[in-house]
Amino acid sequence: MLKVKISHVSSYLPSRTVSNDELEKMTNQHRPVLLSGTLEKLFGSKERRFAAPDEQVSDLAVKAALPIVEEIGPENIDYLIFAAASADLIEPATANIIQHKLGLQCPCFDLKNACNGFVDGITVGSSLIQSGICANVLIVNGEKLSHAMRLDGLGFTNSHLAAYSLGDAGAAMLLTRSDDESGIFFQKKLSRGEHWPLCTIKGGGSMYPRDPEKIFFEGDTAGLKNVISEEGFQFLLSSYQEAGWSPDEVDWLFTHQVSVSTFRTIEMASGVPIDRMVSTFEKCGNTAAASIPLAMHQAMQQGKLKKGDRVMLFGIGAGFSLSMQMLIW
């Protein structure tokens, strides 16, 4: 079967850095909600990035994708997939806005699956290439999650706490045909829809179309952690067995990042040491579907990823879903 590889990865972080102290003070402006040091104690974060008020989700995606488009030429991009938890609008697909801003002419569409959207974009994009429909697929992402926080503290409940781990970012990746040993050789997915209430932004859909109290992120972090523990170990074990890999063969594991403690949990479940993972959480927070490509890009910038490295992408998404990709870099 035709192999597909990741040829380019890029990312973008907004210029505004928001410290834990600043975020806690913003939230406490009307009444005390968060004690000083709460966010670092709960999540291990130190800061995150916030997009400018007039910086749209599509802008974050475009700024991440521009280096790739400029390098290979817009005429060489056959398909554009926007894969994110965020969006500019409910209608039309944000991919159309990004296509216009990038000056592309290729087909485009949105793919949405919470924090697993980007890695699912890899699955769909690689299938487009393997089927012969196209040769190059650009996956883009923009996450403006600062809108999902109750920054005034009004109406705050413990279910809103998880939102304070979030940060804004953009990411992009180009998939293309492989002509050597590099490429994606294993992909696996799991979904458990019965757990969908654990993490939600309920407003804007048909359940709560106009309720302003439903536009904020709510999460049962303890419940989600339990599901990850219950489902994740078996999922990772079956992935190793089906792919024919063992943990000691993995050079790098890139995973979704919801807290610093996530890495210890995944280390125990996967058998891959933490020093073979790349953390962006302390400085960027939980960037939803951008987290895996963002970490990959930072690893590339730091010279960590080498030709021939064995790489795992382990996705975790609300809904609930898990995702695994194994590839030779």
Q: What distance in Å separates the CA atoms of residue 324 and residue 255, rounded to the nearest whole number?
A: 9
Alpha carbon distance 312, 235 (integer Å): 13
| pLDDT digit string, tens, across residues 234-273 | 999 999 999 999 999 999 999 999 888 888 889 999 999 9
Distance from C-alpha of 120 to C-alpha of 122, rounded to nearest angstrom:
5
d(CA 244, CA 239): 8
As a whole number of Å, the end-to-end CA separation of the chain is 18
Give dist(CA 219, CA 221) in Å, integer. Answer: 6
Domains delineated in the chain: 4-177 (3.40.47.10), 183-328 (3.40.47.10)
pLDDT tens string 118-161: 999 999 999 999 999 999 999 999 999 999 998 888 888 888 98
Q: How many CB atoms lie within 10 A of CB 307?
A: 9
Q: What is the pLDDT of residue 151?
A: 87
Helices and strands in the chain: count of H runs, count of E runs: 9, 13
Backbone angles phi, psi at 325, to 5 degrees: -130, 135
pLDDT at residue 56, as a whole number = 98
Are 139 and 10 in contact by the 8 Å Cβ rule? The answer is no
pTM of the model: 0.96
Looking at residue 13, what is its pLDDT?
98
Q: Give percent of the chain above pLDDT 70.
A: 100
C-beta separation of 280 from 287 below 8 A: yes
**With 80 as the cut, is the pLDDT of residue 106 above it?**
yes
Q: pLDDT per residue over 86-103, tens digit each?
A: 999 999 999 999 999 999
Give SS3 for 208. Answer: strand
Separation CA 276–CA 254 (nearest Å): 9
According to DSSP, residue 212 is labeled G
Show the DSSP H helices in 244-290 as ranges. 261-270, 281-284
DSSP 4-59: EEEEEEEEE--SEEEEHHHHHHHHTSSS--S-TTHHHHHH---EEEE--TT--HHH
